[in-house]
Structures are given as structure tokens and as C-alpha cells.
Structure 1
Amino acid sequence: MKFWLICDYRENYTNYANLGTNTMYNDHPSIKNINEILTAINSLGYDCDYFGGIPELINAIDTKRTFENCIFLNFTDGMDQQYSRVQAPALLDILNVPYSGSGVFQSVIMNNKHFCKKALLKLGIDMPKSCVVSHDMPINLKIVEEMHFPLFVKPNCSGSSLGISASCVCHSKDEVLLKTSELLDNFDEVIIEEYVKGIDVTNYLIGNTNSYLVNNIVTAELFDNSPYAIYGIEEKQNKLRKLYLDNEYLPKDIVEKTKKQSVMIAHTLGVHDICRIDYRINLSTQNISFIEINSAPRFSSTSEIGFIASKNNVTFSNMVQYYISTVMDRLK
């Protein structure tokens, strides 16, 4: 069995890091991260090579390449267009090859924060009210006025905290209009949703229905103690937070309830193999608010999965093995 690793790497795309720093930052893994995954896979005894990213997949289609006895491991966020995480599943379907991660439809839904929440309405889980705005879909002020301020304005289809800063918290209609206009200069769609007070929590899942090898809660305590502390692009770039695993920070019943809810969300959306679900949890009210789900969460020794591995006293290679085992079990 041959494995091909699919990933578009950070160094090939726009740098969103602060000017004056030597840091490279955007919504893509680094070359170092790709090599780390590749090394781990081969250290486990598998035959794996780096295939390339979206351009290489397009070339494979154009040149009518065929593949046998192989699995494509999809670690890419796609390129820089809207709904970029859908690109690899769509191209891999055209190539008619088995691959890891969710399919086209599931990736489309997860890539759209607003409509993903719509897809989960029947579950009866708590989610902030929201509306979506684009150049073709102007802001509906009536809907905005019916929401509870403050509101949070952010890109609807982007990850890695791109476009997010403290100014995304808006306390008036005028602030919402200003921030929405600003974001639409750089992003195709913007979501306006009610701001949820609480602490940032993410639930990392590796597995499929009835069999999850990883189901862990990571709580992020921000260094910013202001009333509306935001983990924006600057904070994420510089990792300005402290992480806790499961009930190191949260009460055990909240941890178990969140994990159960995450499995239900993943099952409802038809997620394959891996996802990361973000919440805001208010410990005073014990309210668990679903914020969004990521179909291609970062997989590195310095991301949440590396933190989970360290806390569970397993190596990064072990986590890679969990992922490969999950994919192979599903494809059987």
C-alpha cells in the first residue's frame, strides 16, 4: 500500500504575519510541518511520499494519471480561494482515488460557519444567532437589530483566525456596518453573530461513528484578561494562551457533555476521520455554545493534537498512527 501526502504549504502563499517580524503566517501548514508528518508516517513502516498540493492534483487530472493500491492523505487547506478546503476532496473524487478526511458536501458545509449552524438546528444545541453578508447579499439591518449586542463580525469561510481581532466585537449597529465593510474588502463572505461570553474550548476528534481513537477537549486560557478577550490572528501567530486538557480546567460533567455533543455533530454532518469543533463555554451558566467546525484541523506537534499527545504521554507518531488506522478502517 502506497500513501501520498497532499498538502499546500505556507511558504507559497500570502504572509499575514505582522510587518517587521520574520514569522511566516497564513491558513496553511509549513514545510516543516509537512516534513514532520511525512517522517512520522515513514517511521511507522509505511511507504509514503509527498505528492504536492492542489496544483499537482489538477496536473494529475489534466495528464490523466491513474493510481492503484494507494491512499491519499489529505492535510491541505486548499489554496487561497473561497471554500478552499473543498478543493482537494473534489479533485480526489475526479481522480477516483481513496483519500482521508471528509468528502465534498461535508467539507462545503463545514467550510461555511453560518450554514453549518443551520444544518445542526434540529440537534437542539446552543448556537449564537447569526446572519451572513456578501457583496451579493447585503446586510439585513432588521436581523442585526433583533440580535443581542455585542455582536461578533468575522470572515465566514476562513480559518486560522484570519481577519479576527479585538475590533471584531461590535457594540453598535454603526460598528457592525464599519467592520463588515472592512472585512468585505478582503473576504468574500462575512458572518455576523451574537458574541458569546465564556472561555474558548476545542474538541479534537480522530475516528468515525462508534469508534473514536482521539476525543479530547482543549481549553485555551487567553493571556488577555479584558472583558472581550479575542484569540485573533496576532494572538494565534504568537500562541498567546495557556492550554489545558479535559478536566484540568473544566468540570468533568461539562467535559463529558461536550464530547458527547461533538460526536453527535460529527455524525450529523457525516464527518470522516478527523475534525475539530470549537465552542465557547460559560462556566457560570454551564452553557456550551457551538461556534464552528474545522474539516482539516492543523496536525502538528505544536498544534492541539501535539498538546493532546504530550498530555497523554504518547508520541506524535502515535497520533499519526491513530489517524492512519482510522482512515484504513473506514476504507475497508
Structure 2
Amino acid sequence: MNYLLLCDYRENLKDYSTDEIIYSDHPTSQNIAEILDAITSQGYDCKYFGGIPELIHAVDKKERFDNNIFLNFTDGMDQNYSRAQAPLLLEILGTSYSGSDVFSSVLMNNKHFCKQALRSLDILMPKSCIVNRQLAVKEKYIKDWQYPLFVKPNCEGSSLGISSENVCHTPQEVLRFTYKLLEEFDEIIIEEYVSGLDITNYLIGNPSSYYINDIVGAELFDSSPYAVYGLKEKHNKERILYYNNEFLTKKLIESIRAQSEKIATLLGARDICRIDYRINLSSGEFYFIEINSAPRFSSTSEIGFIAQKKGMHFKDITKLFIETVNKRLFPK
């Protein structure tokens, strides 16, 4: 069996740099080389295939990839629902690949409808609504909500469109900032702000068999009541990370892990995902915020931090990921 590494890299994509921030959250070519080296160093036959443009070319040429598995690490290009681009093209090609399928990727890419899909689970989620150019929001609809409210792009990740301005303390602020964001993004989600600590639950595996199910907490350098981890803070790495029992009780860890597995199963997440929460450490309540079907996979991201805390090398985590994909595709 041969593996083809699929990933678009930062140097070929849109640069979100400004006068204040030099930033892009797409993988770098160095990141791709790191993953490739981690795979091949363990004896797997793996080559770098390219990204979305190369997949489109393969579809146009009706190429076949028998006896190959695509390892999907791409965010996609810069259009809406970018994380669904690779699964869609790979389905057209009729080939095997890692990660979630088209429907699940689209659903997880949409924060609002992802929450709607999770209503059958007994989990905490901040009250929210969706706004776009056809679906307006009026002050009377949100005046009785619990303020402040958090206003952000509905179908973006990587902290795009996120700064301290997103925290709005009055209905007038909400309306003003919502329509400001609509100038750049097609769809906006408004939700009640949850005070507490950012935590993320990283999963590698599939139902009944998770190799990695670990929690990372992020404490921001900004100690203000409504601190936000936006583009500027992300670029400057203005946070401290904590691992599992460094900040959570055993009981709380088990509760978060169990809930994350339920969420991943219901949404159809395959092989890998990352689920973000906000947690109130005093009460122990944790609120689902969003899920990422294609989380960053590198030695310097959350999974690299988890590997370090587990006393593992990045290539060991990569091997677990390959074993996860193989086990799903070839259960016997």
C-alpha cells in the first residue's frame, strides 16, 4: 500500500498579513516535509502529492489511484467550506483517504448548523443565532440575551476575523460589528460569551478505538475579563498551554473525553478531529464551541504538545494516525 500526502501550503495561499500582523495559519512547506519524514522514517511508502489544484487536475484527467491512500492534511484553498474541498474531490476520484467525508466536513465547517446537529446530545452550548446578507438580525431579537455577546465568522477557522472587537456589550455594538464582518465574510454567528478557559480536546482514532484523546488548556497572557485569542495573539503566541491533569480533575477529564467521543461519533468525524470548549474551572461546566475536521498536525501545534507531554516523538503520533486510518479502511 502506498500513501500520498495531500496538503496545500502557506507559501502558495493568501497572505493575511497586515502592517501589524504577519500571519497565515495554513501549514508551511516545512510542516509538510516534517510529516513526510515522520511517515517515511518508519518504512511507509509515502510521497507528497500536492494540494487542491493537483486534485482538480487529477479529476480533469480522470486519473486512477489504485493501491493508494491519500493522507488528507489540507485546509483546502481560501473559498468557503474549504475543508470540504479535498473530501469532495477524493470522492469523485473514487479513492481511499484519511479524515472525515464530505457531509461531515461541511457540517463541522458550519458552526451554527453543527450546533443544531448536536441538540440531541445533552451538552452545554452557548445560545446563538446566524446572520447573513439575506437573514438580518434586529435589536429586539437580542436585547434580552446574556451579555456580552461574541460575534464571529460562521464558517471560518484559524482565528480569522477574531480580535477583542468581537466581544460586544450592547445590542448596538452587536449590530454594528455584525455588519462590519459581513463586508468580508458571508455568514456570521452571534453567541453568548462564555467566561472561562479555552480548552481543546484532540482526538485521533474512531469510535471504540481512540489512540489519542487528550485535553489542552490555553491561558492567555491577557488577564482582562474578556480576553480573546485573535490573529495578533496567535501570531505572537500569547498563551501558556496546560495538559490534562495539570489543570483538570480526573473526573472532569473523563467527562470531557466522553462527551468529545459522543460529539465525534454523532457528527461522523473520522480518524482525526479537534473539539474546542470554554470551561469555567470554578463550576466545572464546559461549553461546546466548535469542532475542526482538519486540525493542525505538526510538532509545534497542540498534537506536538500532547506528544511531548506523553513522552512521545512526533513520528510516534504520526504512526498512530496511520494505524487509525488503516484500521478503519481495512478492519480485518
Corresponding position of 1:52: 50
Query: How far does the alpha carbon of each residue in 1:141-161 deviate from its partner, in whole angstroms, 9 at most, with x for none?
Result: 443224211000011111111
Matching residue within 112, 115, 129 for 1:117: 115
Map of 2:270 onto structure 1: 272
For residue 311 of structure 1, what is the amino acid of its counterpart? K
2:100 is aligned to 102
Q: Distance in 2 between matches of 1:234 and 1:45?
A: 40
Separation (CA, whole Å) in 2 of partners of 1:297 and 1:141 = 36
SS across alignment from 1:14: coil
Which runs of structure 2 are paired with 1:297-308 in the superposition (5 Å)? Answer: 297-308=295-306
Structure 1 residue matching 2:232: 3-state secondary structure = helix
The residue number in structure 2 matching 1:136 is 134
Specify the SS of the correspondent of 1:244.
strand
Q: Is the 8 A contact 2:71 2:97 kept in 1?
A: yes
* CA deviation profile, 1:258-313 (whole Å, cap 9, x unmatched): 11110010011111000000000001221110000000000000000000000101
Q: CA separation in 1, counterparts of 2:120 and 2:20?
A: 48
Separation in structure 2 between the aligned mates of residue 311 and residue 18 of structure 1, nearest angstrom: 34
Q: Distance in 2 between matches of 1:232 and 1:175?
A: 19
Q: Secondary structure at the match of 2:270?
A: coil
Q: Give CA-to-partner distance per residue, 1:189-231, whole Å, 9 cap, x none.
A: 1110000011000000000001000000000011100010111
Contact between 2:152 and 2:189, CA under 8 Å: does it hold in 1? yes
Q: Which residue is equivalent to 2:14?
A: 14
Letter in 1 for 2:131: V
The question of whether the paired residues in 2 share the 8 Å contact of 1:2 and 1:46 is answered with yes
Whether contact under 8 Å (1:3, 1:48) holds in the other structure is yes
In 1: Cα distance, 2:164 partner to 2:97 partner: 38
Letter aligned with residue 284 of structure 2:
Q
Contact 1:27 1:162 in 2 (8 A): no
- SS of structure 2 residue aligned to 1:326: helix
> Superposition RMSD on alpha carbons, in Å?
1.1
Equivalent position of 1:257 in the other structure: 255
Q: Percent identity?
A: 61
Q: Structure 2: how far apart are the matches of 1:179 and 1:141? A: 13
Q: Is residue 232 from structure 1 mapped to residue 230 from structure 2 by the alignment?
A: yes
Which amino acid in the other structure matches residue 151 of structure 1? Answer: L
User: 1:178-217 alignment to 2 at 5 Å?
Assistant: 178-217=176-215
Deviations 1:60-118 (A, max 9, x none): 01011111101000001111111110100000000000000000010011000111011
- Partner of 2:143, secondary structure, is helix
Retained in 2: the 8 A contact 1:306–1:316? Answer: yes
TM-score by length of 2: 0.97
Paired residue for 1:2? 2
Q: In structure 1, the residue corresponding to 2:14 is in which secondary structure?
A: coil
> Would the aligned equivalents of 2:124 and 2:287 in 1 still touch at CA under 8 Å?
yes
Read off the aligned partner of 1:217 and give its amino acid letter: I
* Distance across 2 between alignment mates of 1:275 and 1:183: 27
Q: Following TM superposition, by how much is the alpha carbon of 1:236 offset from its aligned partner in structure 2, in angstroms?
A: 1.1
Q: Which residue type is aligned with residue 316 of structure 2?
A: N
Scaled by the length of structure 1, what TM-score is found?
A: 0.97
Structure 2 unaligned regions, length at least 5 = none
Aligned mates of 1:27, 1:298 — CA distance in 2: 9
Count of aligned positions: 330
**CA-to-partner distance for each residue in 1:17-74, whole Å, 9 max, x for gaps?**
34266x4x22411111111111111111111111111111010010111111010000
- Aligned pairs for 1:20-169 (under 5 A) are 23=22, 25-169=23-167
Residues 20, 126 of structure 1: CA spacing in aligned structure 2 closer, same or farther, 3 A cutoff?
Answer: closer
Looking at structure 1, the residues matched to 254 and 139 of structure 2 have their Cα atoms a distance apart, in angstroms, of: 39
